[in-house]
Amino acid sequence: MKNILGIGNALVDIMTKLDSDSYLAHFGLPKGSMVLVDAVKSKSVSDGTLHLKKTIRSGGSAANTIHGLARMGMETGFIGKIGRDEIGKVFHDDLEASNIRTHLTHSSTESGRAMALISPDAERTFATYLGAAVELSDQDLDESIFKNYDLVHIEGYLVQNHALLLRAMEIAKKNHLKISIDMASYNVVEANREFLYSIIREFVDIVFANEDEAMALTGKDPEKALDEISGSCEIAIVKTGRNGSLVKAGNQIHSIGIIPVKSIDTTGAGDLYASGFLYGLAHNMSLDQCGRIGAILAGKVIEVVGSKMDDERWIEAKEMVYKV
């Protein structure tokens, strides 16, 4: 498993550090959630936080994971849809700069963006305008692209497009790719619970979920949720925040700790955990080692604002990974 393809919403993250959670109440955004908004609401959130410090980088759950894998030296690619605008160019150029093969289609609709509002306690809340990203369809999938990869990593936010998700998984299985999926926000999981269960049972090899998403899917606490999810796939991972993560495959269960860090912003923590875990799997490491590498990357990324680490932190992270 050396070449990994990502499929997801091609979004640009506009990270904004809040000095108070009162902004969330003002915009009607539940803390810690991912709320889909239209272009008007997105502009309203942007205009209402103009005076606050912002950072703009490519984002989207699967794209973040693919970026992490590329920085670890893996051969990667990404499928998504962008608009013909400056936001789309930011996304495209960010991928190319990281040596990620771009399999992007274009739309006349504005490119998608996620207004990531970062609370003083580092929790993040997303007001996401999907724009062109949500127009990615099953018709945009070229089977020949999949033939160059060993695993496809799919973000759970795509679950709202059943035809796209099913087609991607059917092509992947036809071409003998492993499939991993990272659950979306708990509210998206709740709205698509039955469909998620059906595709996990039929297609998915590896499932990543945080404890809220696991609860939304199974109605159970992390340990029991882990048991239930692992019964439908090869490897189940439930991320439990400050308590680390739980990994199960067959009868093997591993409890993974966290590394000591000063958390500034949790954006991208789960996505980079998946990067580390899949990196370990690609190198035939044990599940315990995979989880520990995931914990390292997740820990290092929350020391910065946004989902992209600087070069210095990547050097530190790699030194830690190579000692696992």
Percent of the chain clearing pLDDT 70 (strictly above):
100
Local confidence band at 68 (pLDDT 50, 70, 90 cut-offs): very high
Percentage, residues of the chain above pLDDT 90: 86
User: pLDDT tens digits, residue range 100-139?
Assistant: 999 999 999 999 999 999 999 888 898 999 999 999 999 9
CB burial of 185-223 (b: ≥16 within 10 Å; e: otherwise) equals bbbbbeebeeebeebbeebbbbbbbbbbbbbbbbeeebe
Beta strands in the chain (DSSP E): 3-7, 11-17, 34-36, 54-59, 75-83, 101-107, 112-118, 124-129, 151-155, 178-182, 206-210, 235-239, 245-249, 252-256
Asked whether residue 212 carries a pLDDT value surpassing 80, the answer given is yes
Cα(141)–Cα(180) distance, integer angstroms: 17
Average pLDDT, the chain: 95
Give the distance between the most distant pair of CA atoms in the chain.
53
Q: Give the lowest-confidence range in 89-93, 144-148, 305-309.
A: 305-309
Give the mean pLDDT of 81-99. Answer: 95
Tell me the mean pLDDT in the region 302-306.
86
Q: What are the tens digits of pLDDT across the range 247-292?
A: 999 999 999 999 999 888 888 899 999 999 999 999 999 999 999 9
Amino acid at 317: A
Instruction: Label residue 181 exposed, middle or buried (CB < 10 Å: 0-12, 13-18, 19+).
Output: buried
Does 243 score more than 80 pLDDT?
Answer: yes
Q: How confident is the model at residue 1, as a pLDDT?
A: 63
Is the pLDDT reported for residue 88 higher than 90? yes
**What is the SS3 assignment for 81?**
strand
Whether pLDDT at 149 is above 80: yes
Is the per-residue pLDDT at 99 higher than 90?
yes
Averaged pLDDT for residues 21-32: 94
Provide mean pLDDT across the span 208-229: 97
